[in-house]
Chains A and B, each alone.
Chain A
Amino acid sequence: MRVARWAGLGLVLTIACASAFAPLITGRDPNASGDDLLTGPSAEHWFGTDDLGRDVLTRTLHGGRISLTLGLGAAALGCAIGVPVGIAAGFARGWASTLLTQLIDLFIALPALVLALVVTVVVGPTLGNLMLVLGLVQWPGMARLVRGQSLVLREMAFVEAAWATGNTPAAVVRRHIWPNLARIVAAQFAISVSAAIFTSASLSFLGLGLPPPTPDWGGMVQGGFEYLSLNPLLCFGPGAAVTLTIFAFYVLGRTVD
């Protein structure tokens, strides 16, 4: 477990660095087209070139920037909605609790990708909109987890004592509830990042990612799809990058708690 946690963290950091320092690593412009179209791997182009002669490795490294921004932003939004709703659903009594729990149950079973697809086509695929859409499909998972944990915490003696000694609800949540939730929220945050990147890559594979020429993993896999026999790395380079990123965040999330 401990090994897996450090491996997950190491992978996440490596991917983050590779994306952040992408311009320094290959020293190429991700959108600069060249004369060599659809060449296989070579010393000059490690992953070969695509149908416009652009360096696939450079584009793969740059693609991480979009995916990580989207994933982290969407997971943060999911937390911002999911944690308060989950705490409220866990601590409220009566109709408010029923209503919130119903709301979580309703949203958790919704087809996330289908909704994201429909909403994205309506609002348009910009970075901000995609983050919003992905965040909106991420919050129910977080809310359900936090609600479950809150139901347990609510019955604990130290929480009852905190109420009994006249603390305000805000103080109880901040000093007694939140410290006991932070760890599972952090774990679920990492899993949310991985799920959001999964969904965003699927969306852009289906043609609803950021418009070209932005290097975007899902869209690159889609673009490389028809050239599988010419240069499989066109598809598998970005495909492996997105899989590795989803894997890294998932492993991190599963091993934190």
Chain B
Amino acid sequence: MLSLAARRLFLLVPNLVLLTFVVFAGMISWLGSPSTIMLGQDASPAAVRELDARYGFDQPVAVQYVRWIAAAAQGDLGRSVSTQQPVASMLSPAIPVTLELGLACILLALLVSLLANSIATGARIVQPLISAISVVGVTIPNFMLGAVLIYLFSVRLRWLPTTGWSPWSAGIGTHLMHMIMPVLTLSSFYACSFGLVYRAEYRATARLLFVRAARAKGLSETRVSYRHVLPNAVLPVITYAGLSLGQLVGGAVVTETIFSMPGIGRLLVSSVGSYDYPVILALTLLILVGVALANLGADLLYARVNPQVRV
């Protein structure tokens, strides 16, 4: 178990270095010197050169990258080009917002997909219906679903607040009211795609001998389904959930934008709009590292529940 973790971490570091270097180099060489963005389009070349020299923007890309990553490792992610705030202080309040959204979505999606797709009765109506809903759920873009929910529950029925976000400190009730639609928007895709993966495995497992043995003992269909098939069909869902974490971040970007939640996704969109490259780079680094670590976590969890891969 430990050696598996160590081996995966060992592979992870060079991958991350390579990826962040590509993004960093692409950004620096394509967008030009950040000094031009700081000083505006009309800045004199002399002023740009001076600023370049002061911040080291005239150094080779590799040197700049090493400096950046070394500073980042110590928690210094530079300053925003547009607001002059330290990037780290912009990120720290945004991270918990996105983490909460993401965790709530994954958990809800796992719960709903496993429970709904294990329903043992209703082979003619309930099960095909769930499959059909799943296909619709994986093909409706988050922004469309979010817009539909807002139109229904805020504009028409006026049950839920349109957008915006309310911190925990403003009261748990208000906070949760604001979280309902974002969580539904983001988790529906995952509930449905987990469901499709799980359903295929469920069918294969349900044909195995031990399931027939359980049925022969006289257990009810529901008990056979939830106690015997489910635990044995859940493994591919864990792998799949791990692989889809990267996509979850993408979904969070869209969802936070629709519902104006102050998470890292919306920060990314706003920094992209203003070419605020220190923020973009810091967010890319954060997201890549976060997704890679979460992925590693999913793999280790898989190894934990499935002793066969623990070689």
Contacts and interface: CB of A to CB of B under 8 A. Distances in A.
Interface residues of A, number: 42
Contact of A106 (B15, B135, B143, B250): B15
A145 B242 CA distance: 17
Contacts of B23: 118
B254 A113 contact: yes
A142 interface: no
Contacts, number: 124
B269 A243 contact: no
B246 A110 contact: yes
Interface in A176-211: 194, 198-199, 201-202, 205-208
B139 A109 contact: no
B150 interface: yes
Interface string B150-168: 1100010000000000000
A77 B242 CA distance: 26
Interface string B224-262: 000000000000000000110111011101100110000
Given A109-B246, A121-B272, A228-B155, A250 B138 contact: yes
B135 A254 contact: yes
Contacts of B150: 228
A25 interface: no
A144 to B, nearest CB: 10
A243 B250 contact: no
A111 B251 CA distance: 10
B144 A242 contact: yes
Interface string A102-144: 1000101111111001110111000000000000000000000
Interface in A241-255: 242-243, 246-247, 250-251, 254
Interface stretch (B61-69, B173-181, B201-209, B287-295): B287-295
Nearest to A201: B141
Interface stretch (B26-34, B83-91, B113-121, B301-309): B26-34
A123 B269 CA distance: 16
B280 interface: yes
B108 interface: no
Interface stretch (A16-24, A27-35, A154-162, A218-226): A218-226
A235 interface: yes
A77 B156 CA distance: 43
Interface in B90-131: none
A251 B272 contact: no
B11 interface: yes
Nearest to B29: A122
Contact of B142 (A114, A202, A250): A202
Interface string B131-148: 000011011111110011
Nearest to B12: A106
A181 B288 CA distance: 33
Contacts of B40: none
A236 interface: yes
6 contacts: A111-B249, A112-B250, A118-B23, A205-B141, A205-B257, A235-B151
Interface of B: 11, 15, 19, 23, 26-27, 30-31, 135-136, 138-144, 147-148, 150-151, 155, 242-243, 245-247, 249-251, 253-254, 257-258, 268-269, 272-273, 275, 280, 284, 287-288, 291-292, 295
